[in-house]
Structure 1
Amino acid sequence: MPARHLADLAATATRLGEATHLWEPLVDYDPVSRFYARLALTPEHEAWLLTWVPGQGTDWHDHGGSAGAFVVVRGALTEEHARLQPDGSAVVAQTRSLGTGALRPFGTRHIHKVTNTGLEPAVSIHVYAPALTRMNGYVREGDRLDLVESRLAGVAW
């Protein structure tokens, strides 16, 4: 993934995050599952608003070959990510806290788990290129991740 492409995704996420008039009216918090709304779909990328009440998060997943970037625009999120090994396996590598204003770009082979571990709701803006068509799910076994499912857009989410 060219660094310029990741920089473009990061700039788009930042620009959308600063355009509060676009996303603030859409913010909704669902106590049962994460709320999400598509903000943009272009030939170059798609963008989503996600909200997270305390305790909500994703399972381990990748983005099916799409690169991306997300910015936290309210609250804080915790991201765990995995490092791919030469044999194709994934090993849990690092956990980072992402407060309001934090930007996280990632390449096409990024595997992570994102959770609101804080006490307040959080809001984030996510940009993907190309648009998401598949997401792969993983299960953690010790410090390793095993691929367990592949979900298609419009079918499984």
Structure 2
Amino acid sequence: MPIDTRTTVREFSLPGDLVPMAPSGLHTLTARTGPSVAWLARQASQIAARPQDWWHLVEFTRDRRWYRLLRREPESEVWLLSWLPGQRTGLHDHGGAFGVFALAVGALTERSFDQHADRRGGRLRELTVRTDQVRVFGPHHVHDLGNESAAPAVSVHVYSPALTEMRRYEWTGEDLIRTGVERVGVDW
């Protein structure tokens, strides 16, 4: 399976890039209704930068990844996640939601799928997101996120609209195959 390694991007151009923790210049990206991607990125970076507001909530559990809904509004929601070394999500999407995540502590490795519209062909690419960076992605983004470092990590995720489902996938080496659907209120 070919993996393309990409380094940190200092400027934001389109969903799927890294932006610095205090994103500026994102106001021009308005390819959707609801909160702008710039607003989502600001929310994630501002919350991640204030661990004194949420650190008392964080748990690190070995048997599964820990997560907590911090806030749900009509057009967005904010999640706090902890990651012990070796914990991963598996390939999934966010049910059509735009998303961003900011690293408050540590680093996470993302394997995202660059794909054709029919989800055939394409390749996996790898990107490491570190403390003080924000990852922005669009509604068709499929990725696997995990902690490949030796230290715990904590991340803040903001989605718009609020998540209703996440679809699970498997990469065959040629195609991306949907293997299941997890629904809010049922599976998490």
Larger relative strand fraction: 1
Q: After TM superposition, give the deviation of residue 143 of structure 1 in Å.
A: 4.7
Aligned partners of 1:152, 1:118: CA distance in 2, in Å? 30
Residue type of the alignment partner of 1:137: R
Write out aligned runs for 1:19-98 (5 A): 19-89=50-120, 91-98=122-129
Q: Which deviates more, 76-85 or 18-27?
A: 18-27
The one-letter code of the counterpart of 1:138 is: Y
Q: Measure how far apart 1:35 and its partner are.
A: 0.6
| Aligned residue number for residue 175 of structure 2 | 144
CA–CA distance in 2 between the matches of 1:90 and 1:106?
Answer: 20
Shift of 1:144: 3.0
Counterparts of 2:179 and 2:127, CA distance in 1 = 25
Task: Tell me the CA shift for residue 58 of structure 1.
Answer: 0.3
AA paired with 2:120?
S
The residue identity in structure 1 corresponding to 2:48 is G
Give per-residue Cα distances to partners, 1:61-103, cap 9 Å, x unaligned.
0000111100011011000001230334363331011111121
1:101 maps to 2:132: yes
**Greater Rg by CA:** 2
Structure 1 unaligned spans of 5+: none
Q: Partners in 2 of 1:112 and 1:90 — Cα distance?
A: 15
Q: Any gaps of 5 or more consecutive residues in structure 2?
A: 1-14, 16-27, 31-35
Q: Which deviates further from its counterpart, 37-46 or 15-24?
A: 15-24
CA distance in 2, matches of 1:61, 1:35: 17
The aligned counterpart of 2:49 is 18
Equivalent-residue separation in structure 2 for 1:143 and 1:91 (angstroms):
7
Structure 1 runs (4+) deviating above 3 angstroms are none
TM-score (norm. length: structure 1): 0.93
CA RMSD of aligned residues (A): 1.6
Q: How many residues are matched?
A: 157
- The aligned runs of 1:117-132 (5 Å cut-off) are 117-132=148-163
Give the TM-score normalised by the residue count of structure 2.
0.79
Q: State percent identity of aligned pairs.
A: 38
8 Å CA contact retained: 1:76, 1:122: yes
